């Protein structure tokens, strides 16, 4: 292999690791446990440790869909060269680092997607309009759906006619039903991704559609019964354990989604040179997220937990349930989505149910939305300009 190409590949790999570290220190490392820290269910440092572990696991077993979309699905007709990959990752990571330093959550998915599209189109690629419509719809609907669901759940939980020993187990059962049907690496035919319900059907009755339904309902019921028992015997402790479990699942989902933003641009490059397999690339990205969560996430966790809203365990559960559902939807669709947008929207919706608009800092909200709106355009402009001024 030519030494100059090898140097570019190594630089691209280091840029990808830096991007993974920034993601762990920012969006995926901070947002999943911010509601739990805000509710005093776990300390900041312990939250950073747990989210790093679950983020790594999610990256390894669920990272393929979004990585494929970022690496191959955003621009048609071209493959980013090594220098283009480096430009994309440095632009995305640089903008994220600014957000971490200032305490404002920059949308990772917006910066990386904007940079990939900008660089790709400048190289002569063609727009993939169908994918853009799908991505745009998810981005626009996320704050509406997530914030709305969180508001609705948080409005119901305090009611006297909706006791926690009934409502919280029902929410946990819904999460269990979703878990039975999400894809994990290695559970599908031939080692492909597949769900627990699908694997059960292949093992027990390949031609039956009843097995997946039975597995889904069985897991949902088992989770609901367990949570009901726990909350009934120790309400405060049970709510805290549910909150921590939800935070872990959101962290897992964050790893599965966000790792694609760090390693997706590398996949076509690795295919060309035959260097390493996608599984190894995902594991490397997951390791970068883990280290970023352990070393850089506490600052952003504090910012999200304290600045946006003052939440108790019930409202934090209300924020994390829709966050998990939206995250898994994005993973299923292969859409790069910002976990800052997901969780911050849910926190705002949940906090608004507690004390109206006064429960949320209006100034912080406006600056955050401005950062989200501007990050895509800025990343696109920087990526396009980097190629136009210095052809790759």
At 309 the pLDDT is 47
**Span 214-263, pLDDT tens digits:** 999 999 999 999 999 999 999 888 988 998 999 899 999 989 988 988 88
Compare 21 and 371 and report the one with higher pLDDT: 21
Convert the pLDDT of each residue in 243-254 to its tens digit: 899 989 999 998
Segments making up each domain of the chain, as ranges: 3-157+253-389
352 confidence band (pLDDT: 50, 70, 90): confident
With 60 as the cut, is the pLDDT of residue 330 above it? yes
pLDDT band of 321, cuts 50, 70, 90:
very high
185 secondary structure, DSSP code: T
> What's the whole-number mean pLDDT along residues 87-100?
79
Residue 307 has pLDDT above 70, yes or no: no
Read off the pTM.
0.87
Asked if the model's pLDDT at residue 356 lies above 80, the reply is no
- Report yes or no: 258 and 28 within 8 Å, Cβ to Cβ: yes
Pair of tokens at residue 367: 């600056």
pLDDT tens digits, residue range 270-281?
A: 776 666 778 888
Residues 164-207: pLDDT tens digits?
888 999 999 999 999 999 999 888 888 788 999 999 988 888 87
**pLDDT band at 338; cut points 50, 70, 90:** confident
Q: Residue 358: which pLDDT band, with cuts at 50, 70 and 90?
A: low
CA 5: distance to chain centroid?
32
Non-local CB neighbours of 380 within 8 Å, separated by 6+ positions: 114, 115, 117, 118
Q: Which residues pair with 263 in a beta bridge?
A: none
d(CA 370, CA 180): 37
| pLDDT (0 to 100) of residue 212 | 92
Phi then psi for residue 379, to 5 deg, are -65, -40
Residue 377 above 50 pLDDT?
A: yes
343-369: average pLDDT: 71
Q: Span 282-301, mean pLDDT?
A: 87
**Closest of 113, 120, 111 to residue 76, by C-alpha:** 120
- CA 303 to chain centroid: 18
Of 62 and 391, the structure prediction assigns the larger pLDDT to 62
All residues at 6 or more sequence positions from 7 whose CB lies less than 8 Å from its CB, including other chains: none
| Mean pLDDT of the 293-310 span | 72
Share of the chain above pLDDT 70, in %: 90
Average per-residue pLDDT for the chain: 84
Q: 192 to each of 65, 97, 357, how far by Cα in Å?
A: 12, 35, 46
pLDDT at 104: 64
Measuring CA to CA, which residue among 360, 293, 351, 297 is closest to residue 319? 351
Among 17-21, 52-56, 175-179, which stretch is predicted with the lowest mean pLDDT?
A: 17-21
């Amino acid at each position: 292999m030519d030494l100059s190409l090898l140097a570019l590949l190594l630089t691209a790999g280091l840029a990808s690791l830096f991007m993974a570290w920034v993601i762990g220190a920012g969006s995926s490392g901070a947002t999943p446990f911010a509601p739990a820290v805000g509710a005093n269910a776990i300390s900041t440092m312990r939250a950073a440790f747990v989210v790093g572990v679950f983020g790594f696991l999610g990256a390894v077993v669920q990272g393929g869909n979004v990585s494929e979309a970022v690496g191959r699905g955003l621009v048609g007709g071209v493959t980013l060269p090594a220098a283009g990959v480096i430009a994309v990752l440095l632009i995305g990571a640089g903008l994220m680092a600014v957000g971490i330093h200032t305490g404002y959550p920059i949308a990772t998915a917006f910066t990386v997607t904007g940079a990939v599209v900008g660089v790709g189109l400048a190289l002569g690629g063609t727009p993939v309009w169908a994918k853009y419509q799908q991505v745009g719809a998810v981005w626009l609907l996320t704050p509406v759906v997530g914030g709305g669901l969180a508001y609705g759940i948080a409005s119901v939980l305090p009611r006297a006619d909706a006791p926690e020993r009934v409502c919280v187990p029902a929410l946990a059962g819904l999460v269990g039903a979703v878990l039975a049907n999400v894809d994990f690496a290695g559970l599908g035919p031939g080692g492909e991704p597949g769900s627990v319900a699908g694997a059960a059907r292949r093992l027990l009755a390949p031609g039956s559609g009843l097995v997946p339904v039975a597995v889904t309902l069985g897991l949902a019921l088992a989770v609901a019964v367990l949570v009901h028992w726990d909350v009934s015997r120790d309400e405060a402790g049970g709510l805290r354990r549910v909150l921590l479990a939800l935070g872990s699942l959101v962290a897992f989902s964050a790893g599965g989604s966000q790792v694609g933003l760090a390693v997706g641009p590398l996949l076509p490059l690795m295919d060309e040179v035959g260097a390493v397999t996608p599984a190894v690339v995902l594991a490397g990205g997951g390791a970068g997220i883990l280290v970023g969560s352990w070393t850089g996430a506490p600052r952003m966790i504090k910012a999200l937990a304290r600045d946006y809203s003052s939440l108790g365990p019930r409202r934090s559960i209300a924020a994390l349930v829709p966050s998990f559902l939206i995250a898994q939807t994005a993973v299923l669709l292969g859409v790069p989505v910002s976990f800052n947008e997901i969780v911050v929207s849910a926190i705002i919706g949940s906090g608004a149910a507690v004390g109206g608009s006064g429960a949320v800092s209006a100034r912080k909200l406006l600056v955050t939305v401005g950062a989200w709106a501007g990050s895509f355009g800025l990343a696109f402009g920087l990526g396009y300009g980097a190629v136009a001024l210095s052809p790759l």
